Amino acid sequence: MTLWTRLISIIFVCGIAIMVQVSIATAAAAEKISGELLGADGAPWGTVQITDAPGGVLLRIEATGLTPGWHGVHFHEKGDCKVPKFTSAGSHVHTMTPVVHGLLNGNANDAGDLPNIYAGLDGSLTVELYSTLVSLRGRGGRPPLLGANGVALVIHDRPDDYKTQPIGGAGDRVACAAFH
């Protein structure tokens, strides 16, 4: 190997190493926030993590205390979880009014919409969800969850039918996690 080809290969290897380091740094920069899930009885029911992703947010919910079966879950517009009704969390995260709710509604503009979650017979669940409707801080022009009032992740008593206004018939709010 000539000195010249050795030099070229050293530059190449260094370039690869720098690219790998940059991509690791980019991956490590994903912002993650974590909050306690509060039950309507005022007790801690679990944790909620929200991770900012390039095209949306990843959500991880670990909960106990729920009634077995399906439950609607939404992002609500205020990071304020006052027991027992959690009405302090306000309505769903939205940027347009009137808000049209429902993942199966062709005219929907409700940025707080999420798929239902399912609690087992012991009332617990662990699940990851993904929403492309929002961001943590406005990435990609999507509505930011961490605006001036923060945000709440609210679990409802019944499942969301993804169509009925204003909350898909999901009923009472039974658990809430606040973020700022």
Q: Indicate whether 37 belongs to the interface with Cu ion (CB under 5 A).
A: no
155 contacts Cu ion (rule: CB under 5 A):
no
Would you state the structure tokens that stand for residue 141, as one six-digit string? 């022009």
Does an H or E element contain 31, and which? none
Give all strands (DSSP E) within the chain, no chain letters.
Answer: 32-39, 44-53, 56-63, 69-71, 73-76, 117-119, 125-131, 151-156, 173-179
Contact between 57 and Cu ion by CB under 5 A: the answer reads: no
Q: How many Cα atoms are found within 13 Å in the side-chain-facing hemisphere of 98? A: 5
Site pattern 104..143 for Cu ion (x: CB under 5 A): ----------------------------------------
Residue range at the interface with Cu ion (CB under 5 A); choices 35-43, 44-52, 74-82, 137-145: 74-82
Among residues 154, 155, 174, 178, the one that binds Cu ion under rule CB under 5 A: 154
Cis peptide before 84 (omega within 30 of 0): yes
Region of 34-42, 68-76, 95-103, 138-146 interacting with Cu ion (CB under 5 A): 68-76
Residues lying near Cu ion in the complex (CB under 5 A) are found at: 74, 154
